[in-house]
Structure 1
Amino acid sequence: MPQSIRDEILAVLLDRQPNYLSGEELSHKVGVSRAAIWKHMEELRAGGYEIEAKPRSGYRLVYRPDRVAPEEIYSHLQTKRFGREIQYQNHTPSTQIIAHQWAKEDAPEGAVVIADEQGDGKGRLGRVWHSPPRTGIWMSLILRPPIALQSASHLTILTSVGIKRGIERVTGLDIQIKWPNDLLIVGKKVCGVLTEIRGEQDCIHYAIIGIGMNVNTKKQDFPKEILDIATSLTIELGGDIHRATLIAAVLEELEECYERYLQEGFQTIQQEWESSAYKMNQMITVRTPQGNHTGILKGLYDTGALKLQVDQGTIAIYSAEIDIEKY
């Protein structure tokens, strides 16, 4: 998606930060008049950016707010498709709802819906996802994978691997993946993935990958009932993180995982997932609709099902929960 003039101005200011850039040079770089530059500067200031203007020196970016608006993300993004088209909402009930509608209207693969606040964020099995305003990453990615419907679980797995890579790249924190859709730090949930599919038996029309991540969420922001099982990057890191930078890193890693999966198949993604799996080769209890199973987690089957070693042998678990508070 072509950058707007405002996006281009912001990208140039970010690149030149903390130095000044003359109005003439800025006008030349983005191809608009100096009067137009002034107008866009005022728009940026209205959006919370502090831009200093000094006679005979030019403009300088002094402060940038922690926003997840497109102009912030584009200035960091190095992808071919993922995140190249973004719908941004300051507040929405759920990014999933908007993404489904956009996908039905032929949104391109890699398009993203992102919000600063969700009023009705959802997790797996209809659970509520706590989404405090301007603290986390709440976004939905539209995919159109050329794969069979029975391979849809691969999408959640490769998404978890990509998110893990992105978080570790930006923060240096050690992230573990808990099957089927959670990312953990020291046993506490920091991110969840919700994959929703529309398709038929032989193909997927589109997939919506919902990502909810606790980034700058403070302890006091969490409901008391989940304090023992949830955490955030800022709690574990001891400092706030620029969310747009993190979003760009996650989208870049996700695109690489997705392209590799389409070209090489599931095996390499599977191996990377298993190397980061929570409780790998340890005893766990999983809760399924048919009852509980206790055994040793041995990894994944090619289908994406969990491989559990029990007394009778190795069994495949297709839908289950692992209670992190028990381990």
Structure 2
Amino acid sequence: MSQLFHLENCFSTNDAILSLISEDEPTAVFTFNQTKGRGQYGNIWNVTPDQNMAYSLAVKTSDINIQDTFLNYYTAIIVCDFLANLTNADAKIKWPNDIILNGKKVCGILIEKKKNNNKDLYIIGIGINVLQTDFSNLPKAGSILSATGLRFDLKEFTHQFHQYVISRIRNINSEDEILKIYNNSLFRKDEISVFQKNKVRQNGIIKNADKNGFLWIDLDNEGLQKFFHKEIELLY
């Protein structure tokens, strides 16, 4: 069993969930009007009211039998698989955990560790653009609707998504299998791409992500190197 709460609005589902957590089962919360959502590394995740979904799931750390890096990878795999199955569109993971649907970023993920009532928790925050069509100031962004032409009822979409997430969280793959699936799903893997490092652009090829969270890229001018998030930018 799991609990799923709907909030008409909130600052951040990752914060709001702390007051709703059940002692005995995974708890999730969602809203279609998140006003101060957070992304990775201090980024802001804004949603247009009643067009997109912000969702957070709280699970005890003791219930997760994989390392933090692999939980990050696995969560991205879950969302990528859900969207691919739902839309039959090309869904990929842009390292470390953005979801790209038909070439547009439609989802961001933020996983935090928090303590609540003396219990250690993972708070898995997921924002998905569902119905938004105006991305005039965000040329890389899109929604399920803008990327595929498919329109979904937000509440039905969220309940279906929640059930899928819960089923996958309860049956976690091994770390070796997660790493294999993650690399098979990487956006622009083994393709010549343009990267920006220290304000300098050069071509390179994404080779793989590793178990420590690094991305390995074979750069034209510097050869094979590993990078952590924000150390290099993929231009697409």
2:4 is matched by which residue type in structure 1?
A: I
2:137 equivalent in structure 1: 225
Shift of 1:102: 4.1
2:217 is matched by which residue type in structure 1?
A: L
Shift of 1:186: 3.0
1:209 equivalent in structure 2: 124
* SS of 2:86 mapped into structure 1: helix
Which of 56, 66, 69 is equivalent to 1:153?
A: 69
2:216 equivalent in structure 1: 307
Residue 90 (str. 1) matches residue 8 (str. 2): yes
Work out the CA distance in 1 between the residues paired with 2:202 and 2:32: 39
Shift of 1:130: 2.0
1:164 equivalent in structure 2: 80
- Could you state the TM-score of these two structures normalised by the residue count of structure 2? 0.82
Shift of 1:123: 1.3
Shift of 1:296: 2.5
- Residues 286, 124 of structure 1: CA spacing in aligned structure 2 closer, same or farther, 3 A cutoff? farther
**Residues 234-313 of structure 1 correspond to what in structure 2 (within 5 A)?**
234-261=145-172, 264-284=173-193, 285=195, 295-310=204-219
CA contact (8 A) 2:66 2:175 kept: no
> What do the CA deviations read for 1:173-230 (whole angstroms, capped 9, x no partner)?
221110112011232211110111237xxxx9211111111101122xx4x321x111
Question: Quick one: percent identity of the two aligned structures?
Answer: 23
Q: Single out whichever of 149-158 and 232-241 deviates more from structure 2.
A: 149-158
Shift of 1:287: 5.2
Work out the CA distance in 2 between the residues paired with 1:147 and 1:239: 35
1:318 equivalent in structure 2: 228
Shift of 1:162: 0.7
Work out the CA distance in 2 between the residues paired with 1:238 and 1:295: 32
- Residues 129, 267 of structure 1: CA spacing in aligned structure 2 closer, same or farther, 3 A cutoff? same
> What do the CA deviations read for 1:277-324 (whole angstroms, capped 9, x no partner)?
101113453659xx9997431222123332334577654433336645
Contiguous gaps of at least 5 residues in structure 2:
none
- Could you state the TM-score of these two structures normalised by the residue count of structure 1? 0.61
CA contact (8 A) 1:166 1:246 kept: no
Work out the CA distance in 2 between the residues paired with 1:287 and 1:85: 44
Work out the CA distance in 1 between the residues paired with 2:196 and 2:26: 33
Work out the CA distance in 2 between the residues paired with 1:124 and 1:108: 29
2:15 is matched by which residue type in structure 1?
A: I
Work out the CA distance in 2 between the residues paired with 1:230 and 1:132: 13
- Residues 188, 165 of structure 1: CA spacing in aligned structure 2 closer, same or farther, 3 A cutoff? same
* SS of 2:61 mapped into structure 1: coil
**Residues 14-25 of structure 1 correspond to what in structure 2 (within 5 A)?**
none
Work out the CA distance in 1 between the residues paired with 2:17 and 2:11: 12
TM-align CA RMSD: 3.1
> What do the CA deviations read for 1:125-146 (whole angstroms, capped 9, x no partner)?
2222121111111111112233
Structure with more of its chain in strand, by fraction: 2
Residue 188 (str. 1) matches residue 188 (str. 2): no
Q: Single out whichever of 313-322 and 135-144 deviates more from structure 2.
A: 313-322
CA contact (8 A) 2:87 2:150 kept: no
Work out the CA distance in 1 between the residues paired with 2:162 and 2:57: 9
CA contact (8 A) 1:99 1:142 kept: yes
Work out the CA distance in 1 between the residues paired with 2:169 and 2:196: 28
- Residues 321, 253 of structure 1: CA spacing in aligned structure 2 closer, same or farther, 3 A cutoff? farther
